[in-house]
Amino acid sequence: MKRTIFQILLLLILGIFFISGFMFVNHILNLPFGPANEALHRNGAAFTLDILIPAGVYIDNTMTIGDVIKIRTSRQASLSESLLRSVADLIPEQYRHIANLAVFIFWAFLFMTFLRVFTFTGYGRALRVSLLMGGLMYYFLPDFSPGRVDDAVFIGFALFIILLRAFIARRIKNRKRLVARHTGSKFTL
């Protein structure tokens, strides 16, 4: 009983901590940008809001810190992404999909090699983990196809393989348990 109350109390404290943190950050983001930055300059703060000011944008006194951050982070793309996108537009769509598959297989192969060389993981588990890790790497790295559909397909394929293996393992375990129960064996899994 005491342990349950203690766990509930810890969860409440954690919830209060996250809610108060969210409210604090929301309050800071709703402060007017100009007066807040000037106050930081007057007090000689080590960190000012000057780094958030985007080039070529006029900031009046009505803009909040959140508005300035939205303007600053709404850049189109980095240099590498824009270069990759311009090259990808020249490649036909079928070949882009093949290139995406090659990138995914490349990362999955690298993780498979790492797992097999540096751990004692079997081939089945190493393959499942490497497919998932390859899908995650593919998700976070720029690829030849815009959008998130191909990213979701690669991660979904790895998750499907993992869930299918868990389902098959559970069925085998239940079948062995059922056979052991019907044969009268004292050995049960």
Q: Give the Å distances, CA to CA, from 134 to 64, 112, 127, 137.
A: 40, 9, 10, 5
- 156 touches 176 (CB < 8 A): no
Residues 103 and 56 in one domain: no
Average pLDDT over residues 7-28: 93
| pLDDT number for residue 75 | 61
On whether the pTM is more than 0.75, the answer is no
Residues 109 and 171 in one domain: yes
The pLDDT tens digits of the residues spanning 142-164 come to 777 777 788 889 999 999 999 99
The pLDDT tens digits of the residues spanning 99-141 come to 889 999 999 999 999 998 888 888 899 999 999 999 999 888 8
Last residue of a domain, one of 73, 105, 130: 73
Give the H or E element holding residue 97.
Answer: helix 93-118
Residues 113 and 67 in one domain: no
Domain that holds residue 109: 89-182
Amino acid type, 179 = V
Residues 42 and 123 in one domain: no
